[in-house]
Amino acid sequence: MEFKKLVIVLSITLSMVVAMMFGVSYGWYAYANAETKVTATTAKNAPTVMFKQTEYINAVKMMPILDEDRYKYANKNSFTVTVGENLSKYQVGVEISLKDIKMSEELKIANYKYELLQDGEVVKKGNFDITGEIGTLPLMPMTVLKPQEYPKTYTYEFYVWLSDDGTNQNYLMNKGFSAKININSATKK
């Protein structure tokens, strides 16, 4: 009885080893003689966005500054949008917004301001005098970019600052504000 069990176990083991040898040898043969023919092209139909710092805004250490000094001292995020030659036959639209906004209730005042510039021109400016929760804040609605030449790079700067109104604003310092600059694009032939 013991001998029969031993023969059965050895037979099963031997058949498994032989099957594995055939599998490995076929795998090696298939790998060695494999041909890969990929003829695909990728067309990127979106403008290229590059952030100089990061797309995240994290303004915690603020002090009141005069509005005319905002370009020197305000919290600044710079980014570029490049419309490449591959998009010359398309209409390209870009939309810019702030999302995932988290801010202290104390900063939801008219003196906490923002401004978005495109190539040095003001696209949108405003303040955070908003009640309730802010999830998303549109900065530039879907706008069709019409470059005269390709590639064309548009430079954007987003500023956030606490405007000095001449009163004691020390209680507003070191309050938290964070958001993400969100850029959506669309192309149309």
**Inter-residue contact 84 to 48 (CB < 8 Å):** yes
Instruction: Kindly report the average pLDDT of the chain as a whole number.
Output: 85
27 pLDDT more than 50: yes
- Please name the residues in contact with 64: beta carbons below 8 A apart, sequence gap of 6 or more: 111, 162, 163, 164, 165, 169, 172, 173
DSSP 164: -
At 155, the pLDDT band (50, 70, 90 cuts) reads very high
Tell me how crowded residue 32 is: count the other CB atoms within 10 A of its CB.
7
Tell me how crowded residue 108 is: count the other CB atoms within 10 A of its CB.
16
Give the per-residue pLDDT at 38.
43
User: What is the tens place of the pLDDT at every residue in 97-108?
Assistant: 999 999 888 888
Distance CA 123, CA 118 (A): 6
Class for domain 48-188, per CATH? mainly beta
Residue 117 pairs in a beta bridge with 122, 157
Dihedral pair phi/psi, residue 52, rounded to 5°: -70, -45
Dihedral pair phi/psi, residue 6, rounded to 5°: -65, -40
Give the per-residue pLDDT at 40.
42
The least confident of 29-33, 66-70, 168-172, 178-182 is: 29-33
Place of tokens 């090696």: 28
Place of tokens 């494999």: 34
Q: How large is the average pLDDT for residues 40-66?
A: 80
Give the per-residue pLDDT at 94.
93
Tell me how crowded residue 98 is: count the other CB atoms within 10 A of its CB.
21
Distance CA 41, CA 28 (A): 31
**Inter-residue contact 183 to 77 (CB < 8 Å):** no
Assigned token pair, 62: 């603020």
Give the per-residue pLDDT at 3.
79
User: What is the tens place of the pLDDT at every residue in 101-152?
Assistant: 998 888 889 999 999 999 999 999 999 988 777 778 899 999 888 888 889 9
pTM score: 0.73
Distance CA 44, CA 55 (A): 21
Give the per-residue pLDDT at 174.
79
